[in-house]
Each structure stands twice: as structure tokens, then as C-alpha cells.
């Protein structure tokens, strides 16, 4: 939530306190007060979800970029270069050893790693005897799977953040409508519930009722009429 939205939430919670302190409320305001509480709670929940989802998106994206770079530079490229020497005349294996460019997305990089693993798995023991580190394909598979999971978390965080942002917009629109409805009733019932009107006005100054001139204006009109 931005600063303006945060202020709106604080004001909504202040309105809830005003209504709670002035119970029992007029019957016409009671269901609106319940709706006001629900909207404030929904906004707080959506705001928390937005924050958590954004953090998950940022963490997944940041760690994913590092994993993607390391997977390509420190594993896939060295493996491809070393294996090409042993499979110079095997077109099928050479095709599987192709490493995507640096700007390739996660799906393309993970798919290329799996093709490389599948192509070299039958020859893993021979490659180890030729100087490859034991378990190099297992490490490549594990890191490719972790990169896939990081990317999935980042995408899920982005999706959840978008949903929470849209939900916040709806909740804020409903909150404004409820506040306006309650305020209209508070103004209309100010003569019967002066304490409620005063407490509400202390949180949000409200205009005077239309069509009700002040006593001073009434006296001025009577004086002009008598003249």
C-alpha cells in the first residue's frame, strides 16, 4: 500500500473506534458499521498479502538471476566444452550440448540442462574417468531443479501481488462508499445523536446539512423581511 492508502486505513480504524464508543448505534447505521469493520480487516489482510507476495517475487527473481548465471557459466558451458572433445563425431550428443544464450529464459535454460543430462548420462562413468567430477550430472540436475523452483516462486509472488493489488482497489472503493453512507446518516441524525455526530466530526469534519440555514442567517432574513 502507498502512503495515501495507509492513511485511509488508519482513518477507517478511527471511524470504527468512534462507532464502537458510541454504541448502541442507530439501527440504520448498525449494518453499515459491521461492513466498515469488515472492509478495514479485508484491507489489512490484502495489504499484508501484497507485502509478502512482493517480497517472495523479489527474492525469487534476485536468487533466480544468480542461479541462472551460475548454472550456465559454471556448469553447462564447462560441461559442453569438455564433452565436445569426446563426442566430436556424434551429432545427436553435440546438439544436446548446445547452451542457450545468456538472455534465455529459465524454461529454455532448464530444458537445455535436461537435454544435456539425458544425452550424457549413459557416458557419465567414462567421462568421470576422463576428468569430469564425480556426480557432475546430479549436481547439474539439482541446480536446474532449484532454479525452476525459484522461478516458480517469483512468478507465484507476482501473481499473488497482482491479485492483492486488485483486491485492495475494490476494498478501498467499498470502504469509501460505506464511510459516505454512514456520514450521511450521522448528519441526518445529528439532532438525536449529538455525541455520535461530534465524535464522527472530530475524525472527519463534515459539512452542515443543506437547506438548514444557521440561526444568524434566519435572523438576518427576518430583519430584511420586516424592513
Cα 23 to the center of its chain, rounded Å: 36
Contact (Cβ atoms closer than 8 angstroms) between residue 5 and residue 172: yes
- Can you give the pLDDT at residue 40? 94
Distances (CA, A) of 107 to 45, 62, 92, 223: 33, 16, 21, 85
- Can you give the pLDDT at residue 77? 95
Closest CA to 185 of 58, 30, 43: 30
Q: What is the DSSP string of the chain?
A: --HHHHHHHHHHHHHHHHHHHTPSPPTTTHHHHHHHHHHHHHHHHHHHHHHHHHHHHHHHHHHHHHHHHHIIIIIIHHHHHHHHTT-TT-HHHHHHTPPPPTT--HHHHHHHHHHHHHHHGGGHHHHHHTTPPTTHHHHHHHHHHHHHHHHHHHHHHHHHHHHHHHHHHHHHHHHHHHHHHHHHHHHHTTTT-HHHHHHHHHHS--PPPTT---HHHHHHHHHHHH-
What's the CA gap between 152 and 1, in Å, rounded?
24
Instruction: Quote the pTM value.
Output: 0.69
- Can you give the pLDDT at residue 89? 85
Distances (CA, A) of 57 to 54, 105, 216: 5, 16, 62
| Domain spans in the chain, listed from the N-terminal domain onward | 3-226
What's the CA gap between 61 and 67, in Å, rounded?
10
What's the CA gap between 174 and 53, in Å, rounded?
23
Contact (Cβ atoms closer than 8 angstroms) between residue 206 and residue 18: no
- Can you give the pLDDT at residue 118? 95
- Can you give the pLDDT at residue 207? 45
Please, what are the averages of pLDDT over each run of 10 residues along the chain (227 residues)?
A: 84 92 92 95 94 90 88 94 89 93 92 95 92 94 93 92 93 93 93 92 60 68 73
What's the CA gap between 12 and 9, in Å, rounded?
5
- Can you give the pLDDT at residue 63? 86
- Can you give the pLDDT at residue 75? 94
Amino acid at each position: 500500500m502507498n502512503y495515501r492508502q495507509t492513511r485511509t486505513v488508519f482513518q477507517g480504524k478511527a471511524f470504527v473506534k468512534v462507532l464502537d464508543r458510541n454504541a448502541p448505534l442507530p439501527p440504520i447505521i448498525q449494518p453499515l458499521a459491521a461492513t466498515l469493520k469488515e472492509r478495514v480487516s479485508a484491507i489489512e489482510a490484502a495489504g499484508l498479502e501484497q507485502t509478502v507476495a512482493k517480497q517472495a517475487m523479489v527474492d525469487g527473481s534476485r536468487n533466480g538471476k544468480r542461479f541462472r548465471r551460475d548454472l550456465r557459466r559454471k556448469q553447462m558451458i564447462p560441461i559442453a566444452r569438455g564433452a565436445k572433445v569426446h563426442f566430436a563425431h556424434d551429432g545427436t550428443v553435440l546438439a544436446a550440448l548446445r547452451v542457450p544464450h545468456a538472455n534465455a529464459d529459465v524454461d529454455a535454460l532448464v530444458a537445455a540442462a535436461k537435454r544435456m543430462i539425458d544425452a550424457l548420462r549413459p557416458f557419465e562413468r567414462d567421462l568421470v574417468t576422463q576428468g569430469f567430477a564425480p556426480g557432475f550430472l546430479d549436481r547439474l540436475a539439482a541446480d536446474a531443479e532449484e532454479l525452476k523452483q525459484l522461478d516458480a516462486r517469483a512468478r507465484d509472488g507476482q501473481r499473488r501481488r497482482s491479485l492483492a493489488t486488485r483486491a485492495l482497489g475494490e476494498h478501498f472503493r467499498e470502504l469509501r462508499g460505506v464511510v459516505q453512507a454512514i456520514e450521511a446518516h450521522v448528519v441526518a441524525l445529528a439532532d438525536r445523536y449529538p455525541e455520535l455526530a461530534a465524535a464522527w466530526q472530530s475524525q472527519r469534519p463534515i459539512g452542515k446539512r443543506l437547506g438548514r440555514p444557521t440561526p444568524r442567517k434566519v435572523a438576518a432574513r427576518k430583519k430584511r423581511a420586516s424592513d
